[in-house]
Structure 1
Amino acid sequence: MSAQAPVRRITAPQIAARKGGTPIVALTAYSAPMAALIDPHAEIILVGDSLGMVVHGLPSTIGVTTEMMILHGQAVMRGSSRAMVVIDMPFGSYEESPGQAFRNAARIMGETGCGAVKLEGGSRMAPTIRFLTERGIPVMGHVGLTPQATHTLGGFKTQGRDTDSWAGHLQDAVDVAEAGAFSIVVEGVVEALADRITEAVALPTIGIGASARCDGQILVLDDMLGLTARVPRFVCSFAELGAAADRAIADYAAAVRDRSFPGDDNVYR
């Protein structure tokens, strides 16, 4: 009997080749069990710096460290075998210079085994993206609403409501694409602008709060499972696991207090 061929992970060139094809499915994950659930269904698992808020209770992504990203990235890699794992570069780990970005990206990839890194920023980050890709590090770009820059943007505000700003957003996407990114997240922009960006670049766009006509979509897993109390308008809850968990915990607490748990089936004789 011949041995079953090992599962090969999806690669950056395979994602890049999906432009205009079947939409790319992407979700965030921060742990091995969640990665294992996503792996059969998605092409990309993003270890997002949103873990700072979702997992660690931070007020924003600003306090996330490279060490945190590596720890969660290692867990997601252990829990998955098929999807391409992309890890966010946290605030302060790449903006200073292309050299700083390379050192941290190489560390993230080396210590986790992930397939790519993601960094935020448009035209201003194009030289850094080019520096990384020319040295063998696949990069996913991120334009539009960039959460690491919310202090300068004035909060989590939809981008592109003023059509005068469209040229700048389009240039951001074009420059990221020309710098060598294999895909680009388009976040929090008006639908028509997302469509223009998707038409303007030859690499796949991954929408979040953008347009159904992007080449793929991504959501924070906890948001779409109903595990977060407040979610942005663009999130569709595909389950209400938060409410189910609340009921289960309440039932457990009641069973402990009335001594119906543990029962005969739950103890050793």
Structure 2
Amino acid sequence: MSVAKKQYKRITVKSLTEMKSHGEKISMLTAYDYTMAKIIDSAGIDVLLVGDSASNVMAGHETTLPITLDQMIYHASSVVRGVERALVVVDLPFGSYQSDPKEALRSAIRIMKESGGHSVKLEGGREVKESIKRILHAGIPVMGHLGLTPQSIYKFGTYTVRAKEEAEAEKLIEDAQALERWGCFALVLEKVPAALAQKVAEQLTIPVIGIGAGSGVDGQVLVSHDMFGMTHEFNPRFLRRYLNLYEDMGNAVGQYVKDVKSVDFPNDEEQY
């Protein structure tokens, strides 16, 4: 049975809670620059995540760890200028919140003031409790992130599915419940078993957004460069490529080079 969608002129954290309560799935993609943000926002996306995945897809790093707070603010500022409808969530980068709650608050405040973003996201559960609480007490909306947490990749040693074992699954459920209790407005679950993700989504009143977490959650997020097929080396099971821009853009560049070399471009109509 289809669900009638409420028309939102602007998506807020309250909008996402309403969408969950009405059974409407939430759509979320990453963006790192003005042009991409403008395209994705105008197409009707609900949430734009300025992810620390910019470290990978924009800068070519192997992990998300190298990206700095200043760089995240630069990307987020660019995205905000291209958005009219979507809620903009900005990742707090590695090292900006884990060890010192005061530093976490300073980092979140800088993102909000200097980028114009609408909220922040950070990874972890009980181990970052004080940082989350301090940010929330300042009135800054926080999205949580559990399961595979890429900023902890050297701790895990692999990007494999998380929480397959009972003990880790129980901890994930407890952390998810705590994040809601502390006041987070939503939660991302990354690469966890679909049954576990659905169980978490059913237990929480806040929206649960999945990436590699099955269809039983309240919404989905993908890295836009992966979804558009601009990358081609990354092929996880959860990724659906809606375009093949890597090949299309390569072909276009090849044709441009050919046309320039043969003096086919510019033609008479393309000159002054």
Equivalent in 256, 260, 267 of residue 263 of structure 1: 267
- The 1-side partners of 2:126 and 2:204 are apart by 14
Aligned to 1:146: 149
Secondary structure, aligned partner of 1:251? helix
Deviation per residue, 1:56-80 (Å, 9 max, x gap)? 1111110000111111111101111
Q: Which residue identity does 1:18 align to in structure 2?
A: M
TM-score (norm: length of structure 2) = 0.93
Equivalent in 139, 160, 165 of residue 136 of structure 1: 139
Q: Which residue identity does 1:243 align to in structure 2?
A: E
- The 2-side partners of 1:211 and 1:129 are apart by 27
Q: CA deviation at 1:242?
A: 1.4
Secondary structure, aligned partner of 2:217? coil
- Whether the 8 Å CA contact 1:10–1:82 is kept in 2: the answer is yes
Aligned to 1:156: 159
Q: Which residue identity does 2:128 align to in structure 1?
A: M
| Structure 1: 4+ residue segments shifted above 6 A | none
Aligned to 1:36: 38
Deviation per residue, 1:162-191 (Å, 9 max, x gap)? 234210111111111111100000001111
Q: CA deviation at 1:202?
A: 1.7
Aligned to 1:13: 14
Residue 214 (str. 1) matches residue 217 (str. 2): yes
The CA RMSD over aligned residues, in Å, is: 1.3
Q: Which moved more, 1:258-267 or 1:77-86?
A: 258-267
Aligned to 1:253: 257
- The 1-side partners of 2:89 and 2:216 are apart by 22
Q: CA deviation at 1:126?
A: 2.4
- Whether the 8 Å CA contact 1:123–1:173 is kept in 2: the answer is no
Secondary structure, aligned partner of 2:20? coil
- The 2-side partners of 1:8 and 1:116 are apart by 18
Q: What is the total number of aligned residue pairs between the two structures?
A: 262
- Whether the 8 Å CA contact 1:29–1:46 is kept in 2: the answer is yes
Q: Which residue identity does 2:247 align to in structure 1?
A: A
TM-score (norm: length of structure 1) = 0.94
- The 2-side partners of 1:175 and 1:79 are apart by 34
- Structure 1, unaligned stretches of length 5 or more? 1-6
- Whether the 8 Å CA contact 1:125–1:176 is kept in 2: the answer is no
